[in-house]
Amino acid sequence: MLDEWRLGEWLALFTEDAVYEVPRAGADETADSAEDLFYIADNYFRLGHRVKRMLDKAAHAEWPRSVQSHMISNVRIKGSDEEGVHVSCRFITHRAKNEIVDTYAGHHNYILRTVDGKLRIASKRTFIASDSLRDQGKVTIIL
């Protein structure tokens, strides 16, 4: 969906109490957005506004939009508890814009929950496998 810029459909995959977080590059698994620097620390409401801004032509960072390719591998079910099913995976995302190609690699941690018979994302936390964003310069919801 992200590769095809179907952001509204992508947003619909999240629960209404979802969180979407991207800790700073190099952060460990225990990073807490209340105490540590996060590039993104959105609840569902803020994520909805982010999607709306990204779809607006006035969003200069993504207009014209980037060309992206997301590759996901090593999908693993880690367990389940009262929060939902814990899933992790590795990713590589290529993002091309203005003749520059940025490559992001890392892993996602998800908590998935069934809502009205459909599997939804209750939590997505993206860890970038880098110690800085110096080369890439920016990170958006495109991860």
Q: Would you state the structure tokens that stand for residue 14, as one six-digit string? A: 């999240």
- Structural domains in the chain, CATH included, are 7-128 (3.10.450.50)
Tell me: cis bond preceding 23? Omega within 30 of 0 counts. Answer: no
Sequential pLDDT tens for the chain (143 residues): 999 999 999 999 999 999 999 999 889 999 999 999 998 999 999 999 989 988 888 877 777 888 889 999 999 999 999 999 999 999 999 988 888 888 889 999 999 999 999 999 999 999 999 877 766 556 665 66
Q: Biggest alpha carbon distance in the chain?
A: 46
